[in-house]
Structure 1
Amino acid sequence: MLLIENADLFSPAPLGLGTVSVVGGKISGIHPADSAKELRLHMERLCPEVTVLDAEGGKVLPGIIDRHVHFNGAGGEGGPRYRTPPLQLSAFVRAGVTSAVGLTGTDGTCRGLRDLLMKARGLEEEGLSTWILTGSYALPSPTLTGGVMDDLCLIDKVIGLKIALSDHRSAHPTVDELRRAVSEARVGGMLAGKAGTVCVHMGSEAPAFEPLLAAVDGTDIPLAQFAPTHVSRNEALLERAVEYGLRGGNLDITAAPGEKPVFGIPTRRAVKHLLAGGVSPERITLSSDGNGSMPRFDAEGKLAGMGIGPIESVLACILELMEDPEVGPEKAVGMATSHVADQLSLPHKGRIERGRDADILVLDDRNALRHVVAKGRVMMKDGSVLARGTFE
């Protein structure tokens, strides 16, 4: 049993001061602040070992659901020495990520889905909630069982498909190939009770979103079956993202805090641009592209440099957006929690509500991460990581 007292709650909607009770890894209740003492005595009568975390009035948010993490490593555009290593559990804890979706990238040949699946299972055993996407930049998509629908139906961890578009590293799929891919993912998701979302890596080439619009044109497949990511890569793509969002498409922004980020347009500016253009906040999500390689190419397409995606970028962007009067706490927190849970059909995630998984972040008075709880287990306490991977 766990109690989080004196919490300034954002569910993501602001709830004010209160106490969160946790039993068996689930949120059992949200209680008024003045009932904390009575609640603690009641729980201690039921169980002598009750963990109490005092938020001291700090912000308390749902754990981050990072929908785009290369947790088994990625990269390789510059050769074998540019392959990023797998992430360890403590990296997620320090970033406030309690749920993660793993995927491959450019390399779907040597970065196998089998290894990705086992890494997801390992992180789950260590305390996270994890899922994966089948496929890669290539089409036809590499799969675990021989087919996208089979992967979705037969493998619990597979919740969607990864492809790439409008990028010199993509397979440059035709409209028919895109239509077939999204159809297989949609039907596989329906049969398995999953979202069957198609994560679309977006590059900088001129077609941008047009092939996605053409793929669903004349069908009953909702545009939201696609989930384009990296939509704040550059100004031209972001401008076209507004129209795409207005037509019912979902948009995932690669989190880029600060005014001079390592990737693309600053997230604060990108989010405000989408909102000002009329895009519904529920259609906007944030992800890190964590642990993915971030190659830089010159005008001739030659590798000019290499970076790595910081998994902690999502939390940094949430905090920036919470303080922005044009965005505010509810929208900011929702973009990395409830919006993601809704789009990925994860009904037990993304909100601080009774019956949801107890994935909770507690910030201190400086908005630094103080406590992290994942499925009811305290992973960080008073800024110190308590949960580490098997080989850390």
Structure 2
Amino acid sequence: MEQIILIKGAQLYAPTALGTKDLLLAGNTIAAIADNLMLNDTNLPITVIDGSGKLLVPGFVDSLVHYIGGGGEGGFATRTPEMQLTDATLAGVTTAIGVLGTDATTRTLSNLLAKAHALDIEGISTYCHTGSYEIPCRTLTGNITDDLILIDKIIGVGEIAISDHRSSQPTISEIRKVAAAARVGGMLAGKGGVVSVHVGSGNSLLQPLFDAVAGTELSLSQFYPTHINRNEALFNAGLEFARAGGVIDFTTSTTAYDLQHGEVAAAAAVARALAAGISPTQLTMSSDGNASLPIFSPDGRLLGLEVGAVRSLHQALQSAVLEFQVPLSAALTTVTQAPAQVLGLKQKGQLAVGKDADMLLLNSHDLSIDTVIAKGRCLVKDGRPRVYGTFEKPQQFATGG
């Protein structure tokens, strides 16, 4: 029998504020949202959760995660570790999109896809992009369109790299062909078919994307550029990209060095973009979880390296609301509805009847995470995991062996 959960008396953000509501979920689906829901059949196996004093919000959609790790810019010993289930769930992430980065040799698409399936079995919803920084893109079937059509979990391409010394220095024609293949594959498969674009600190900024659509039937909405808060120049270019109809993504994982050298904190970037008149549905935040965060000298020498953290997504949401006074519904949109829309994930990112049963209960005073429900299953309760990944050890049972 499907699990039935009734959440009573929470302040519901869908992410639009809907006031105090009850929400009923049956299995993996939201069955009802109303005032004072009552179930007449008391023999049903119902779990009732008291939501009073809490905020009920959609589960976070993290649009850029390196499930199987990344990095390697400093050699084999600098390859970053894989993500574990509770890295996501304790951060409120119920849907995650896995990508490859610089390294598509020791990190492979088949490995990425296998990890996506593993995390899905363990409890969250997962998807992947085909390709990596490199163009021509490495694929599983031999081309981008076939990957999108034939492999359920593959929903887009990326993250291809531009304006970066680690990119393959693609031509405008090559970028166009990737976008065209992604669009056709997405159309035929009923998927988003978006091209996720890693943008470095090069002087060309986002110009390659403007050039790629110029004189063609492609639109900027085909591209989904990330790391737009990398520096002030790129941030301003991102605002122009959004004004031209695109969606831009701010990275929440960062280092003290990067912030001291011009990076705009993701929460501040959201606040500034909203103040500049950009719609919250054109702004997203992603964690870049388990990626390497390399620090390079001006001539490209590696000076140091840290690791991205999925938990930074939730921390940035807290900072946006509590520090930068971003309205909660707008801040939530950047990590729920907006990424789900740009990725074509129609069942994700909103609390509405018929949508997937992915949701969080947040403590209203500080937005800390109390409860995480993914695919209708409670994975975190009272801020502590109830479900662990296959190879994670619950702390109370850890032996240290």
Normalization by structure 2: what TM-score?
A: 0.92
Give, as a single letter, the amino acid of the residue that structure 1 aligns with 2:115. Answer: K
Partners of 1:5 and 1:232 lie apart in 2 by 39
Partners of 1:284 and 1:368 lie apart in 2 by 22
Residue number in structure 1 paired with 2:398: none
Partners of 1:23 and 1:260 lie apart in 2 by 47
* Aligned partners of 1:257 and 1:317 also within 8 Å: no
* Aligned partners of 1:323 and 1:329 also within 8 Å: no
* Aligned partners of 1:256 and 1:265 also within 8 Å: no
Q: Percent identity?
A: 43
Higher deviation after alignment, 236-245 or 325-334: 325-334
Q: Is 1:17 equivalent to 2:14 in the alignment?
A: no
Residue number in structure 2 paired with 1:356: 355
Partners of 1:299 and 1:217 lie apart in 2 by 31
- Any idea what the Cα deviations from partners look like across 1:319-340, whole Å, max 9, x if unmatched? 2223467630111101110111
State the 1:261 CA deviation: 7.3
Map 1:41-56 onto structure 2 (within 5 A): 41-42=39-40, 44-45=42-43, 47=44, 49-56=45-52
Give, as a single letter, the amino acid of the residue that structure 2 aligns with 1:285. Answer: T
- Any idea what the Cα deviations from partners look like across 1:24-82, whole Å, max 9, x if unmatched? 211111121xx25xx1x52534x1x2112212321111000000000111111011111
State the 1:368 CA deviation: 1.6
Partners of 1:218 and 1:150 lie apart in 2 by 26
Map 1:227-246 onto structure 2 (within 5 A): 227-246=224-243
Map 1:99-118 onto structure 2 (within 5 A): 99-118=95-114
Residue number in structure 2 paired with 1:141: 137
> 1:372 and 1:89, CA in 2 relative to 1: closer, same or farther beyond 3 A?
same
Give, as a single letter, the amino acid of the residue that structure 2 aligns with 1:374. Answer: A
Residue number in structure 1 paired with 2:64: 68
* Aligned partners of 1:11 and 1:353 also within 8 Å: yes
State the 1:268 CA deviation: 2.6
State the 1:88 CA deviation: 1.1
How big is the alpha-carbon RMSD for the aligned residues of Structure 1 and Structure 2? Answer: 1.8
* Aligned partners of 2:358 and 2:375 also within 8 Å: yes
Partners of 1:4 and 1:380 lie apart in 2 by 15
Map 1:53-202 onto structure 2 (within 5 A): 53-162=49-158, 163-202=160-199
> 1:257 and 1:43, CA in 2 relative to 1: closer, same or farther beyond 3 A?
farther
* Match among 4, 26, 31 for residue 29 of structure 2: 26
Partners of 1:319 and 1:60 lie apart in 2 by 15
Q: Is 1:381 equivalent to 2:384 in the alignment?
A: no
> 1:43 and 1:262, CA in 2 relative to 1: closer, same or farther beyond 3 A?
farther
Q: Which blocks of at least 5 consecutive residues in structure 2 are unaligned?
A: 393-401
Q: Which blocks of at least 5 consecutive residues in structure 1 are unaligned?
A: none
- Any idea what the Cα deviations from partners look like across 1:173-219, whole Å, max 9, x if unmatched? 11111111100111111111111000000000011111100111111
State the 1:140 CA deviation: 0.6
* Match among 8, 12, 16 for residue 5 of structure 1: 8
* Aligned partners of 2:318 and 2:366 also within 8 Å: no
Which consecutive aligned stretches of 4+ in structure 1 deviate over 4 angstroms post-superposition?
Answer: 256-263
Give, as a single letter, the amino acid of the residue that structure 1 aligns with 2:23. Answer: V
Residue number in structure 1 paired with 2:391: 391
> 1:388 and 1:247, CA in 2 relative to 1: closer, same or farther beyond 3 A?
same
Partners of 2:226 and 2:73 lie apart in 1 by 19
Residue number in structure 1 paired with 2:367: 367
Give, as a single letter, the amino acid of the residue that structure 1 aligns with 2:42. Answer: E
Give, as a single letter, the amino acid of the residue that structure 2 aligns with 1:175. Answer: I
What secondary structure does 2:180 align onto? helix
What secondary structure does 1:115 align onto? helix
> 1:366 and 1:211, CA in 2 relative to 1: closer, same or farther beyond 3 A?
closer
Residue number in structure 1 paired with 2:248: 251
Residue number in structure 1 paired with 2:395: none
Partners of 2:324 and 2:70 lie apart in 1 by 37
* Aligned partners of 1:256 and 1:262 also within 8 Å: no
Partners of 1:293 and 1:345 lie apart in 2 by 27
Partners of 2:226 and 2:372 lie apart in 1 by 27
What secondary structure does 2:198 align onto? strand
Residue number in structure 2 paired with 1:209: 206
Partners of 2:73 and 2:267 lie apart in 1 by 29
Partners of 2:19 and 2:154 lie apart in 1 by 37
Q: Is 1:312 equivalent to 2:311 in the alignment?
A: yes
Q: Is 1:339 equivalent to 2:342 in the alignment?
A: no
Partners of 1:60 and 1:81 lie apart in 2 by 42
State the 1:278 CA deviation: 2.7
State the 1:376 CA deviation: 0.6
Give, as a single letter, the amino acid of the residue that structure 2 aligns with 1:288. Answer: S
Residue number in structure 1 paired with 2:291: 292
Give, as a single letter, the amino acid of the residue that structure 2 aligns with 1:100. Answer: A
* Aligned partners of 1:258 and 1:266 also within 8 Å: no
